[in-house]
Amino acid sequence: MQQKIVITGGPGTGKSTVIDELIKRNYSCMTEISRKVTLEARKNGMEQLFLTKPLLFSELLLEGRVNQYLEAQKIESNFIFFDRGIPDVHAYMNYISIDYPSMYIEKSTLYRYDKIFLMPPWEEIYISDDERYENFEQALAIHNHLERTYKNLNYAIIEVPTGNINVRTDFILNHL
């Protein structure tokens, strides 16, 4: 039976680094798609799609994450790791206080994951870049929205401790 495992958390918490390590260890992973959506929008003349058209950005993310979920079902592997899950989309919408269609909650309820690992804010490793515009305080607020969103969907959340990449990755693998 395949387990679908989400690694989530605010921006700059080390999610993608852990996903990269899991890939190196030959685990099946679905990588983050928000940077891809952002870069694609830039090619089409929108500098910050999330800031200028947050509902469109979120619709594209929701569609992409549902597609990842469905693609994962075709992979023959005991564990599939996701760099963020479907509920992350409406957690961010809650963070920016934008109304969104009930379909967001419906998709999060329909497509369930087996385990949720939450990466806590960690100021020592936090950096901003061209696709990550949030400051550390905003990252803390996003973390709180993510935690609340997953709890509201009745997920048990496992918080990943800070530490080097091997410590964090081993922690996740030891909790499967």
- pLDDT < 50 stretches in the chain: none
pLDDT for the residue numbered 9:
94
Where does 6-157 have alpha helices with state H?
Answer: 15-24, 34-43, 49-52, 54-72, 87-95, 103-110, 136-152
Model pLDDT, residue 168: 96
**Domain of residue 150, CATH code:** 3.40.50.300
Which amino acid belongs to residue 20? D
CA nearest to 33, candidates 77, 85, 80: 85
As for how many domains the chain has, the answer is 1
Q: What is the pLDDT of residue 40?
A: 75
Number of neighbouring beta carbons within 10 Å of residue 50:
20
Domain residue limits at 105: 3-174
pLDDT score of 138: 83
